[in-house]
Chain A
Amino acid sequence: MWARPVVLPPADPGSPEIREAALRNRGSLQLRHVDAGSCNGCELEIASIFSPVYDAERFGMRLEASPRHADGLLVTGPVTRNMADPLRKTFEAVPRPRVVVALGDCARNCGVFREAYGVEGAVADVVPVDLEIPGCPPDPQTIITALRGLAGT
């Protein structure tokens, strides 16, 4: 009768840096989400990973309201000119050590907005990126699998 959380594949251990971050995070990953110019497709998927169906909070992940409380940033969309500076400021505001996750194809390489007049570049052109999650938009399982590697859960 009630939705039960989907059974997910094991976490993606990822690169050595990610494994190091996972050890540090010890099963708790607090992220501040920054929409740098997304079409809101990725936002829908982010919203759905915290839904009862996927329930990402059981893996220790939460979205934070302030970068001051976060372990890292979750950035979506190509970085538009208006959002480049706020993104840098938000990155500066996260306490170290910190991670940046580029979520979706636009965040990785601007996707269909490549060379558009209002776009400054991909997220990696503005702040250093630690983890990329491909997809347009990535489906919830992909997002959770990637983030679990970061959370160490």
Chain B
Amino acid sequence: MTSDLLVVTAVVGLSASAVGATAPLRIRTHISVALTIAACASGFVMAAEVLHTGDVAVVHTTALLPLSGLSMVLDRFGALFVAVSAVVGICAMLFRLGYHGHGLSSRSASCILPLFVTTLLLVPAASNVTTFLFLWELMAVSSLLLVLADHRRRSEVASAGQWYAVMTQFGAAALLVGLVLLATHAGSQSFAAIAAGSAHLPTWVRDSAFVLAVVGFGSKAGMVPLHVWLPRAHPEAPGPVSALMSAAMVNLGIYGIVRVGDGLLGGGPAWWWLLVMALGALSALFGSLHSATSSDLKRLLAYSTTDNVGLMLLGVGASGLFASTGHRTLALVALVAALLHVVFHAVFKGSLFLSASSLQQATGTTDLDRMGGLLRRMPMTGTIFLAGGLAMAAMPVLCGFVSEWLLLQAMLHGLPSSDPAIAVAMPIGVGALALTGGLTALTIVKAAGIGLLGQPRSNAAAEANEVGPSMRLGAGTLATLCLVFGVAPFLVVPSVVDAARSVSRTRISDPLVGGWQVGLAGVHGALAPGLLALALLIAVTLVAGARRVLQHAPARHTRAWGCGRELQTATMEYTATSFGEPLTRVFEDVLRPAHDLDVSHAAESQYFVEAARFHTSLDDAFERHAYRPASVGLGRWGALARRVPNGSIHRYLAFGLVALIVVLVVAG
């Protein structure tokens, strides 16, 4: 049955795409959205079935792809990612019904959006190299075209698209080389055959395949230093697309690293996983630092995606490190923590990106310094944003807390190990996780405090109206899931454990205590989020009741204290930039902010200032110090190379002759 559903998902998804391309404008959106939701629903049912029963969905056909044929096998590990993509897809599509602007209604965008969602559902099912690369590229190209949907109206979109295109194609090239290397040495391109034969491959093949996979999948996941496209593409992409990219597409980067490292190669030496952990810690710190200092809402969320991907990589790396040193229980716990974070990150980041897009649609901007007071104007959207934000800051009774707690537990329990690699890596990982948690809390205080509270900072924010019901439903469903999974993680934990066990070859008994608790078998530490929620509820009731009982006089409501000023305007409020300024100052060596102060003096005397203009900007250090010099160098190289073909027919004939001679010499 699951195999049929896989075909149904693909067919319905592609028909949604076809309808989007052909139907008249009036009905185009509704029909293609309905069909895409149907495809997601079918994908979710299939994934749930696979996760529940463990029966793999298999589809083989030689008709569609030349030479290799299309080969798809969906196991429990892939099904987890399909389920996540399906839920995010349904919510994003509901949201898309009410979302206008950004050129999403055009014929091309209506055709490509369902295609993008369908590829997100199908990539985890690919089971040979050709199918995988084909679907992967389809996903990359369709998401690129969606980022570019609005290129006619805004010029920044084209620049964001260029960055994204270069990074994603660079990653795809790395993947192509890595997977082809594996396939040629294993003698077959089917994943099952590679997995069976990978243990006997030469070490250099395994090493280079893994490193190339980390580079290729890491660039898709937004891992530092390959993250530079994220903070550019997300602010420019249409709302539902940025939610899909951040909540579903980056997951597939994690999927790939685990699939290749644990699944195809069956684990490896400690240095592989130390590399993954180091990149994860770097991503987590760099991402959270930039999201805490960024003043653009979507840029902030994009950097926080880098930060959360870093945490997932930290978990994946810790898991591999534990496995390579024989700590099998901890390896599984760390992998479960990472996968749980994949699921929960999708839920909260989806709700954050969707509600941020609602705020953008209502105010026409993503600049936090031009929002303000929106919780009063848009209570529902504001609450959704807050719920997602608190989950991201790992507040208890929301879902982010459970996965980060589990990750922390896994790393802490590795501390007593006598293995030097673990003894060095785990404290650093714990430190990175702790600092990231603090910075994330600061980020969300800033985003909610500046954007949602206070006075409106622009006319658009003062006149913002709540968005339509379908947008609230799409974002609200994900926000509700944040709470549901936070209180009752046992709804997903068993599936995640099954998924983790299906990919890693360490088959051991269930490491997690089930039921209401999330706990670790064999080591101390358990968490009962349901009881935690109950305790919180009782505490809140008690405090509220005590206030009511102990209060002498009725509460008095007066104006907020504003130093007795006559006029209290939005310009006197904290801005996102000023809120992040102390942090920018502390981390000046890392962030390298650029300041520019222009003071023009009066003509009569230089002691009188006529005008002062202060400009500050926070560029990405990697972009400025690595990518820009590289792109300038490549440009120079290109200019030099252009001298070689100078239009002379004699020279071209000589090239042909020299090439022929070289080929003859080499081949002969």
Contacts and interface: CB of A to CB of B under 8 A. Distances in A.
Interface of A: 34, 66-68, 85-87, 89-90, 92-93, 96
B566 A86 contact: yes
A92 B566 contact: no
A89 B558 CA distance: 10
B556 A96 contact: yes
A86 B565 contact: yes
Contacts of A68: 561
Counting chain B CB atoms within 10 Å of each CB, the highest count among A34, A85, A89 belongs to A89
Contacts of B563: 86
Contacts of B553: 96
- The 4 lowest CB-CB distance pairs between A and B, nearest first, are A86-B564, A89-B564, A93-B561, A90-B564
Nearest to B560: A93
B559 interface: yes
Interface residues of B, number: 10
A28 B565 CA distance: 28
Nearest to B561: A93
Nearest to A91: B564
B559 A89 contact: yes
Interface in B51-76: none
A67 B561 contact: yes
Given A67-B561, A86-B566, A92-B558, 18 more contacts: A34-B564, A66-B561, A68-B561, A85-B564, A86-B563, A86-B564, A86-B565, A87-B564, A89-B559, A89-B562, A89-B564, A90-B564, A93-B558, A93-B559, A93-B561, A93-B564, A96-B553, A96-B556
A92 B559 contact: yes
B237 to A, nearest CB: 45
Counting chain A CB atoms within 10 Å of each CB, the highest count among B553, B558, B559, B562 belongs to B558
Interface string B515-554: 0000000000000000000000000000000000000010
A137 B241 CA distance: 70
A79 B245 CA distance: 62
A87 B558 CA distance: 15
Nearest to A86: B564
Contacts of B558: 92-93
A85 B556 contact: no
Contacts of A96: 553, 556
A51 to B, nearest CB: 27
A85 B566 contact: yes
Nearest to B562: A89
Nearest to B563: A86
Contacts of B562: 89
5 contacts: A86-B563, A90-B564, A92-B559, A93-B558, A96-B556
Contacts of B556: 96
A46 to B, nearest CB: 19
Counting chain A CB atoms within 10 Å of each CB, the highest count among B553, B556, B561, B562 belongs to B561
A34 B565 CA distance: 13
Contacts of A67: 561
Contacts of A87: 564
B272 to A, nearest CB: 56
A70 to B, nearest CB: 11
A17 B611 CA distance: 55
A66 B561 CA distance: 9
B558 to A, nearest CB: 5
A34 B566 CA distance: 15
A87 B565 CA distance: 10
Contacts of B565: 86
A6 B527 CA distance: 61
A96 B556 CA distance: 9
Contacts of B566: 85-86
A37 to B, nearest CB: 13
Contacts of A90: 564
A105 B558 CA distance: 31
A86 B563 CA distance: 8
Contacts of A66: 561
Counting chain A CB atoms within 10 Å of each CB, the highest count among B553, B559, B564, B565 belongs to B564
A68 B559 CA distance: 12
B350 to A, nearest CB: 40
A66 B564 CA distance: 11
A52 to B, nearest CB: 30
A96 B559 CA distance: 15
Interface string B554-581: 0010110111111000000000000000
B564 to A, nearest CB: 3
Nearest to B556: A96
A84 to B, nearest CB: 10
Contacts of A34: 564
A87 B561 CA distance: 12
A64 to B, nearest CB: 12
A92 B557 CA distance: 10
A4 B58 CA distance: 92
A32 B463 CA distance: 38
A34 B563 CA distance: 11
Contacts of B561: 66-68, 93
Contacts of B559: 89, 92-93
Interface string B27-69: 0000000000000000000000000000000000000000000
A96 B555 CA distance: 11
B559 to A, nearest CB: 7
Contacts of A86: 563-566
